[in-house]
Amino acid sequence: CADASSLEALKRRLSETISSRWPDAVYEFGTLGNIFDMVFAEKEPELVARVREVGGEGLVPGSLASLIEDIDSAVPQVNVARIPVKKDVLYISDAESMALYGIAREQVVSAIRSSLNGNAVFEIIQGNRSVPVVLGTDMLEMEDLFDKAVIEKEEGVVIPLKRILRQTYEEDFKSIVSGEEGNYYPVELDVKSSEAKSVMSAVREAVHKYGNLEVSFSGAFFSNNEMIRQMIVVLLIALAMLFLILASQFESLLQPFIILSEIVIDMAFCLAVLWITGTSINIMSLIGLVVVSGIVINDSILKIDTINKLVAYGMETEAAIHEAGHRRLKAIVMTSLTTILSVAPFLSRGNMGSDLQFPMAMVIIIGMSVGTLVSLFYVPAVYFAIYKHKNGR
């Protein structure tokens, strides 16, 4: 599409076509995302409800199907997938008929096995797949087994299987998962992180109605929260160590706060621009934040160090700030310009490399631009506001 208006027109046409041809279909439109999101997308569902039975013989597809319907009604904003089941054929032997015809259980099993696999020579197994090698084409299908399969006795008597067997069907899960808490059925719930807690409460209420079922939760929501918690702890430790280093270097507890406040301002502006432009926060944009923080904080450290030296030589605070700003102006501007111009080519998207590095380039350019202004104006202003009465004008 050439522009936003043509895109909206296309969406309306698609909606009309889908609604007219498939009125019961559920669909939505969304952004494709960049190449980083597609390559490194999270494979784990956002939320997984682990449903298991307590004190029973095991989960039954019928009772679980009604629970899925209740969950679907409780959280209408989530598309809950139906349970995939398989239909098994059960052959139930009639003990009285077997005794009447003098047939042993082994004879029945042998007749069924011969009818189904009589022409099988061997089996090719590769991984979790198996392919039987069969001679001829006269193998019986399950539907014909009752009509054609027979048991031949020693006296030459032929007895059809349908006289001693009863055929029935049973539904069972295609797959079930086992964990530390035992066997459970995973119900995948594709929800937003902000809605995860409310969805979990609704699912618990739906499961609570069934006395023999209980539920626990897992998924990317929990793993991401744990990862964020660990990152916050690491960041706090890094800031604490940086504060101690700066405090020992400047022999002050106030000046490290002036320098570290620049990191907060730069990060806030970078995250705001990412949110406004709709760019995802991923590992590349986080790398950009780290790069920006390391560069801009160096400018503030050198500038405050220069101001301290001039004040120590007897210069007044305001005059020392002006002189330090004059001395460090070219170095700060040149550092920012070289960094910004070096990553500017990555703003042109269109290939895999540029798409991957676009978030990092945007963060570095925004962070360096804001950081330069902070180093030139904010840091000297805060320094003067704190030390103007201590060192004199």
Residues 98 and 190 grouped into a single domain? no
Q: How far, in Å, CA of 391 to CA of 249, rounded? A: 19
Q: For residue 38, is it within any domain?
A: no
Give the domain-ending residue among 183, 218, 253.
Answer: 218
The DSSP annotation for 140-178 comes to PPHHHHHHH-EEE-TTS-EEEGGGTEEEEEEEEES--EE
Residues 52 and 182 grouped into a single domain? yes
Residues 159 and 300 grouped into a single domain? no
- Global pTM value: 0.56
Q: How far, in Å, CA of 144 to CA of 115, rounded? A: 10
**Alpha carbon of 259 to those of 117, 236, 243, 325, 328: distances in Å?**
79, 16, 9, 15, 16
Residues 61 and 208 grouped into a single domain? yes
Q: For residue 160, is it within any domain?
A: yes
Long-range contacts of 269-276 (CB under 8 A, 24+ apart): 269/366, 269/367, 269/370, 270/363, 270/366, 270/367, 270/370, 273/362, 273/363, 273/366, 274/359, 274/362, 274/363
Q: What's the N-to-C CA distance of the chain in angstroms?
A: 62
Residues 371 and 270 grouped into a single domain? yes
The CATH number of whichever domain residue 147 belongs to comes to 3.30.2090.10
User: What's the pLDDT score for residue 53?
Assistant: 82
Cβ atoms of 361 and 344 within 8 Å: the answer is yes
Residues 195 and 255 grouped into a single domain? no
Q: For residue 336, is it within any domain?
A: yes
The CATH number of whichever domain residue 372 belongs to comes to 1.20.1640.10
Domain count, the chain: 4
Beta-ladder partners of 294: none
Residues 104 and 134 grouped into a single domain? yes
3-state secondary structure of 103: coil
Residues 324 and 363 grouped into a single domain? yes
Q: How far, in Å, CA of 127 to CA of 135, rounded? A: 24
Residues 164 and 179 grouped into a single domain? no
Residues in the chain predicted with pLDDT less than 70, given as ranges, are: 1-4, 31-43, 55-58, 115-122, 127-128, 132, 134-147, 155, 349-354, 389-393
User: What's the pLDDT score for residue 171?
Assistant: 77
User: What's the pLDDT score for residue 34?
Assistant: 52
Q: How far, in Å, CA of 372 to CA of 369, rounded? A: 5
Q: Is 261 exposed, middle or buried (0-12, 13-18, 19+ CB in 10 A)?
A: middle
Residues 365 and 303 grouped into a single domain? yes
**Alpha carbon of 212 to those of 207, 209, 280, 348: distances in Å?**
9, 9, 43, 58
**Alpha carbon of 354 to those of 44, 225, 360: distances in Å?**
27, 29, 10
User: What's the pLDDT score for residue 393?
Assistant: 46
Q: For residue 195, is it within any domain?
A: yes
Q: For residue 249, is it within any domain?
A: yes
Q: Is 354 exposed, middle or buried (0-12, 13-18, 19+ CB in 10 A)?
A: middle
Show the tokens assigned to 337.
């310009």
**Alpha carbon of 110 to those of 141, 151, 172, 247, 374: distances in Å?**
16, 9, 25, 86, 86
Q: How far, in Å, CA of 188 to CA of 211, rounded? A: 22
Could you list the residue range(s) of the whole structural domain that residue 101 is in? Answer: 86-173
DSSP 8-class letter at 26: -
Q: How far, in Å, CA of 370 to CA of 206, rounded? A: 51
The CATH number of whichever domain residue 193 belongs to comes to 3.30.70.1440
Q: For residue 298, is it within any domain?
A: yes
Q: How far, in Å, CA of 138 to CA of 128, rounded? A: 27
Residues 7 and 59 grouped into a single domain? no
User: What's the pLDDT score for residue 56?
Assistant: 60
Cβ atoms of 279 and 35 within 8 Å: the answer is no
Residues 369 and 309 grouped into a single domain? yes
Q: For residue 40, is it within any domain?
A: no
Q: For residue 39, is it within any domain?
A: no
Helices (H), the chain: 4-21, 35-39, 61-74, 95-101, 105-117, 142-148, 196-208, 220-250, 255-277, 283-312, 317-343, 352-373, 379-391
